[in-house]
Amino acid sequence: LPTMGAENLAGKMAGKALGVILAGAVCLSGAVDTAAMSPIIDGARTFGSGELSRLEENLNRFEKETSFHVRVLTRDARRAEQAVSGETIKKEWNLPDERAIIVVIDADKGNVLRFNVGKEVHAILPDQFFGELQGRFGNLYTVQKEGEDGVVI
């Protein structure tokens, strides 16, 4: 597996911002197909089909270049029927994963963006990095201007 130093990973992630970080998706509504190993669980139905395929290509490229795994979970408490259990998510994405960045979009929250990162990612990128992304891209103003999908794409 290729490895990447702290400067290169931080530069790659910051330089491409969220567009590359959140680069993959296949919408999983209803039953979860664990054979698919989808990098996104779009429980809030945030993305259109074209967006999903573009994101999937970018996320796969990012993973090949860095050997870090970015996973995206969208959820909306107002759509309880689309909820995916924590156990299903852990099984689908083989969690915990020390090289994973889990991006959570909570459509029903004021700041829609949260990050959960593995130990190896945390050792390279400090909490401040993810706090900056959350504050810059997940705030109400940006969501209203760009839409929930625009926060990720």
pLDDT digits (tens, 9 = 90+) for 77-122: 777 666 677 788 888 888 888 999 999 988 877 788 899 999 999 9
What pLDDT does residue 10 have? Answer: 55
What residue type is assigned to position 151 of the chain?
V
Q: Using alpha carbons, list the distances in angstroms from residue 33 to 91, 105, 137.
A: 10, 21, 30
pLDDT value at residue 44: 84
What is the rounded average pLDDT of the residues 43-54? Answer: 86
Q: Are strands 113-117 and 69-75 parallel, antiparallel or unpaired?
A: unpaired
pLDDT band per the 50, 70, 90 thresholds, residue 123: very high
**Residue 73 CB: number of other CB atoms within 10 A?**
22
pLDDT of amino acid 76: 84
Q: Which run of H or E residues covers position 145?
A: helix 140-146
pLDDT band at 65, cuts 50/70/90? Answer: very high
DSSP state of 111: S
What's the pLDDT band for 56 if we cut at 50, 70, 90?
A: confident
Band (64; pLDDT cuts 50, 70, 90):
very high
CA distances from 115 to 31, 53, 80, 89 (A): 25, 22, 22, 15
Please list, in sequence order, all residues whose beta carbon lies within 8 angstroms of the beta carbon of residue 82, skipping any fewer than 6 positions away.
29, 43, 44, 45, 75, 76
